[in-house]
Amino acid sequence: MRIATWNVNSIRARVDRVTDWLQRADIDVLAMQETKCNDEQFPSMPFLAAGYEVVHCGFNQWNGVAIASRVGIDDVQVGFDGQPTWSDKPEAEGTAEARALGATCNGVRVWSLYVPNGRTVDSPHYVYKLEWLAALRDSANKWLAEDPSAQIALVGDWNIAPTDEDVWDMEVFKDSTHVTPPERAAFNAILEAQFTDVVRPFTPGPGVYTYWDYTQLRFPKNRGMRIDFILGSPAFAQRVTHAEIVRDERKSGKNRIGSPSDHAPVLVELG
């Protein structure tokens, strides 16, 4: 069974590229982030034509998460218990954003997660990011307390580079989000809740990234960040036999369908 995650950076712009890769890479389950559409706008038909069921959570042109599966989709859940709310307008009441979608696919509980960016360290969105991660940790703790043998995969764009080697130049990011001690502590708290980064042992760094900005030739120069992860529960982690970051899918040009996302897919194979 092959499970992947991919921040697609607008599914309507990249649906042909995504469905083409799904079939070439023989993926059974794909979690997607940053779909940038509401549920009615999501292009389900190309996935169905390729043999995949798909569920999506999107409220507007921002955020958005989805799961496509050819091995079944059961027990769909939009958001996790205690997921914080957010509003860009201080006078408006916050709402839960389209950032978390869970489904059980062939016995594996897959959560497609698009962790808040945080914007700047002095922004209320940074506080929201930390609260969001703390609530996720609490939910993850609860899931494993209820069933220690559960196969759970927390996958997606975490918007955190957990170690210095996960960015191309720490000096560039020293005053930015994604690398601050509180964010890294929040990520590590998920690991302390018995979840494991199941991809890193197969793709050690430094210089191994999942995201490259479109500007300043960041991709050709390999000036990227490692911010997309698959974190597995103990029962899930012990099944992983292979993992990779599919860097070639960040490429554009000849023999490629459409423009690339600024993220590469990340995949694991289960035995």
Would you state the structure tokens that stand for residue 142, as one six-digit string?
Answer: 């609860």
State the Cα–Cα distance between residues 265 and 133, nearest whole angstrom: 22
Encode burial over 10-25: b for 16+ CB neighbours within 10 A, e otherwise.
ebebbbebbbbbbeee
Write down the pLDDT at residue 107: 98
What pTM does this model have?
A: 0.97
Burial class (CB within 10 angstroms; exposed 0-12, middle 13-18, buried 19+) of 35: buried
Residue 254 has pLDDT above 80, yes or no: no
Write down the pLDDT at residue 116: 98
Q: Tens of pLDDT along 191-234?
A: 999 999 999 999 999 999 999 999 999 999 999 999 999 999 99
Write down the pLDDT at residue 253: 79
Catalytic: 125?
Answer: no
Catalytic: 209?
Answer: no
State the Cα–Cα distance between residues 229 and 63, nearest whole angstrom: 17
Q: Tens of pLDDT along 45-101?
A: 999 999 999 999 999 999 999 999 999 999 999 999 999 999 988 888 999 999 999
Catalytic: 263?
Answer: yes
Q: Which of 126, 178, 197, 263 is catalytic?
A: 263
Q: Which of 157, 166, 197, 228 is catalytic?
A: 157
Residue 38 has pLDDT above 90, yes or no: yes
Q: Does domain 2-270 have CATH number 3.30.70.920?
A: no
Q: What is the mean pLDDT of residues 257-262?
A: 94
- The domain spans of the chain are 2-270
* Residue reference for tokens 């839960």: 96
State the Cα–Cα distance between residues 225 and 210, nearest whole angstrom: 6
Q: Indicate the annotated binding residues for Mg(2+).
A: 7, 34, 157, 159, 262-263
Residue 255 has pLDDT above 80, yes or no: no
Write down the pLDDT at residue 89: 86
Q: Tens of pLDDT along 108-151?
A: 999 999 999 999 999 999 999 999 999 999 999 999 999 999 99
Write down the pLDDT at residue 256: 82
Q: Which of 52, 114, 126, 209 is catalytic?
A: 114
Query: What percent of the chain lies above the pLDDT cut of 70?
Result: 100
Write down the pLDDT at residue 142: 97
